[in-house]
Amino acid sequence: MEFNIGNTKLSIIHGDIIDSGAEAIANPANDKLWMGGGVASSIKRAGGEEIETEAMKKGPVPIGEAVVSRAGNLGAKFVIHSVIMGQDLHANAESVKQATINTLKVADSIPVSSLALPAFGTGVGHFSAEECAEIMIDEVVSALLSSKNLKQVKFVLKDKGEFEIFKSSLEAKFRRRK
């Protein structure tokens, strides 16, 4: 599924963010930037421990902020560490919203032309996939209307249920806009 927003293509893909083909991928992170479970673990396993080492040198980072590291052995050039939770490992609506906004700002400023996003906080962070989809899609659509460099943003969701939730949420948003 794909929509055009300004000069950017927004798509939702069922797959692994590691294989997204994007120049930058987002990592839903904790404030100390250690990469323990979920998407972070997958990124570290595929890209190498140097991603975590570089990221942790930039921490701690306030919840809602985002920092960038190189992507090690991944096909991407950069990993944007999007801080959605503290050491309690629980995400909430405000942290997901602010991390999404700041991830898009960082991606646009690097600059990269393509960004892959997972669902922020729905795994380790125990956040509702339905609420996550609504928040992230709203913030991505809003940011893309003024983006200077992003030409493609992909939500890449490994979990089939989350993929369906994001797909339905995006379809509903565009039905409302007509």
pTM: 0.96
- Each residue's pLDDT expressed in tens, for the chain with a length of 178 residues: 899 998 999 999 999 999 999 999 999 999 999 999 999 999 999 999 999 999 999 999 999 999 999 999 999 999 999 999 999 999 999 999 999 999 999 999 999 999 999 999 999 999 999 999 999 999 999 999 999 999 999 999 999 999 999 999 999 988 765 4
CATH of domain 2-160: 3.40.220.10
Query: Contact at 8 Å (CB) between 139 and 66?
Result: no
List the helix and strand counts (H, then E) for the chain: 5, 7
Nearest to 144 by CA among 152, 133, 156: 152
Instruction: Answer for the pair 139, 117: CB distance below 8 angstroms, yes or no.
Output: no
